[in-house]
């Protein structure tokens, strides 16, 4: 039997040390993997909602460029109050009931409710200005009275008559933008920062709508704000 003898140098070996570069590589790989997992978990909990791209006042009509979709982490209660991404296309042309701010999640309550038009009603829009519509202090749902003033230039006389004793405001149009250069527009914006009033849409019977259309073309209209009907004696 042959016996192999080991030299002292081969019999005693120093233990191998791990390469520091390999340890750093493993650490970086694990860190990247953990970051990817955390990002995936976070993204999976986020929900797509509609977000504003710029500031708009109440009464403004929404355009496609005013809105975008963002993924936001929120609980069920907040998500129910927000506007989901699947409603994005249907929002174009809708009006705001409240001001909207850039990078803000659009709440359902900020949109005008279009359910106020009855089966026997039509909507008609008339131009409005702060000096003819109670300084713009009119909102959707308000009750108003419409007067028309006809001026006889031959005798320099003006006559005012009642057009509508009571009508419900369906929508209010306002100038878009907060940075108006005109002093009149800036002063006529209401206390809530809404833009200057530009039009009023009323919900009327077809007969009243025809009367209003005739009055609009025969003279100057004034809009009077009325108290709620239930408050009348």
pLDDT tens per residue across span 127-145: 999 999 999 999 887 899 9
Q: Which two tokens stand for residue 162?
A: 């009642």
**Residue 99 sits in the same domain as residue 128:** no
- Determine the average pLDDT of the residues in 172-185: 53
- Determine the average pLDDT of the residues in 151-178: 85
**159 within a domain of the structure (yes/no):** yes
d(CA 112, CA 32) in angstroms, rounded, equals 47
- How many separate domains does the chain show? 2
Spatial contact of 154 and 207, defined as CB atoms under 8 Å apart: no
Closest of 224, 115, 116, 230 to residue 164, by C-alpha: 224
Spatial contact of 98 and 109, defined as CB atoms under 8 Å apart: yes
pLDDT tier, 147 (very low <50, low <70, confident <90, very high otherwise) = very high
**Residue 127 sits in the same domain as residue 101:** no
**Residue 129 sits in the same domain as residue 75:** no
Single residue among 70, 91, 110 that ends a domain in this structure:
110
Mean pLDDT of the chain: 79
Q: Which two tokens stand for residue 31?
A: 């860190």
101: containing domain = 45-110
Full-model pTM: 0.48
Q: Which residues pair with 157 in a beta bridge?
A: 152
Residues in the chain: 233
Burial of residue 69 (CB within 10 Å: 0-12, 13-18, 19+) is: middle
Exposure string for 2-29, b = 16+ CB within 10 A, e = fewer: eeeeeeeeeeeeeeeeeeeeeeeeeeee
pLDDT of 83 strictly over 70: yes
């Amino acid at each position: 039997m042959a016996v192999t003898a080991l030299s002292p140098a081969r019999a005693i070996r120093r233990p191998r040390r791990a390469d520091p570069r390999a340890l750093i590589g493993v650490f970086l790989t694990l860190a990247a993997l953990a970051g990817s997992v955390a990002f995936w978990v976070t993204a999976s909990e986020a929900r797509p909602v509609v977000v504003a791209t710029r500031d708009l006042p109440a009464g403004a009509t929404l355009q496609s460029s005013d809105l975008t979709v963002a993924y936001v982490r929120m609980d069920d209660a907040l998500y129910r109050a927000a506007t989901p991404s699947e409603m994005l296309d249907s929002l174009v042309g809708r009006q705001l009931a409240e001001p909207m701010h850039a990078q803000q999640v659009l709440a359902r309550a900020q949109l005008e409710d279009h359910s106020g038009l009855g089966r026997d009603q039509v909507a008609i829009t008339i131009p409005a200005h702060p000096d003819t519509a109670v300084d713009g202090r009119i909102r959707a749902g308000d009750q108003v009275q419409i007067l028309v003033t006809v001026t006889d230039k031959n005798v320099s006389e003006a006559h005012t008559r009642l057009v509508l004793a009571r009508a419900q405001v369906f929508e209010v149009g306002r100038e878009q933008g907060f940075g108006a250069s005109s002093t009149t527009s800036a002063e006529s914006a209401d206390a809530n920062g809404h833009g200057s009033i530009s039009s009023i849409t009323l919900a009327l019977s077809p007969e009243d709508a025809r009367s209003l259309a005739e009055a609009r073309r025969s003279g100057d209209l004034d809009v009077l704000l009325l108290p709620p009907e239930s408050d009348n004696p």
